[in-house]
Each structure stands twice: as structure tokens, then as C-alpha cells.
Amino acid sequence: MSTTDWPLWEVFVRSRRGLSHTHAGSLHAPDAELALRNARDLYTRRGEGVSIWVVPAAAITASSPDEKDPFFEPAADKPYRHPTFYEIPEGVKHL
């Protein structure tokens, strides 16, 4: 048995209620159930999480580095799109 037979899974962990799931890393596992358990052992044993998602890495469609400029460059010079014109009220976290 070798890890190379096992598919790759991407792991997303929600660290607290009210936050969204964040990509934590990846791992190999034979199926979804074990991927979830491996994720628990690898990424949440110091109390980092309240919820875990595992997604087959093959199911993720990613933007290519070659497309970086047309994808992201045009947004850079449009400051009016950024919410920078008001003060964040005190006590609002995670914004």
C-alpha cells in the first residue's frame, strides 16, 4: 500500500463560528470519510477548528498563473471599489 494510490484532498477548516472555512492544506486519503479523519488529525488537534470540509483536489478548477494579469490587474486602479472610505466601527471583528 502506498500513498501514491490515494487521491489528494484539499482541507478547509472553520476555526470559529461566524468565520468562513479557510484552506488549511492538503492530504492523501483513500476516501472522503478517512480524508475527514486524517484532516482532523493533521489540522485541528490543537483546537483550531469547529468544522472541516474536505474536497477532492481533482474537483477544484483553479485560475492559471498565465491568466493572472487579465484576471486581477484591472481591479488594481479602481480604488472606489475598495471599502476604504469609512471607519470600521469598534467591536466589529473579522471584516
Partner 1 sequence: MTATGSATVPVTAALALGDDALVLSHRLGEWAGHAPALEEEVALANIALDLLGQARVLLSLVGDEDELAYLREERSFRNLQLVEQPNGDFAHTIARQLYFSTYQHLLHAELAAGDGPFAPLAAKAVKEVAYHRDHAEQWTRRLGDGTGTSHERMRRACAALWRFTGEMFQPVEGLDVDWAALESRWLESVAEVLDRATLTVPEGPRTGAWSAGAGRQGIHTEPFGRMLAEMQHLHRSHPGASW
Instruction: Tell me which residues touch partner 1 (CB under 8 A).
Output: 1-3, 6, 27-31, 33-34, 37-38, 41-42, 45
Please identify, using beta-carbon distances, which residue of 32 and 75 lies nearer to partner 1: 32
What's the closest the beta carbon of residue 24 comes to partner 1, in angstroms?
Answer: 14
- Cα atoms in the 13 Å half-sphere on the side-chain side of 82: 6
What's the closest the beta carbon of residue 32 comes to partner 1, in angstroms?
Answer: 12
Q: For the residues of 41-76, what is the DSSP string, one character each?
A: HHHSTTS--SEEEEEEGGG-----GGGHHHHHGGGT
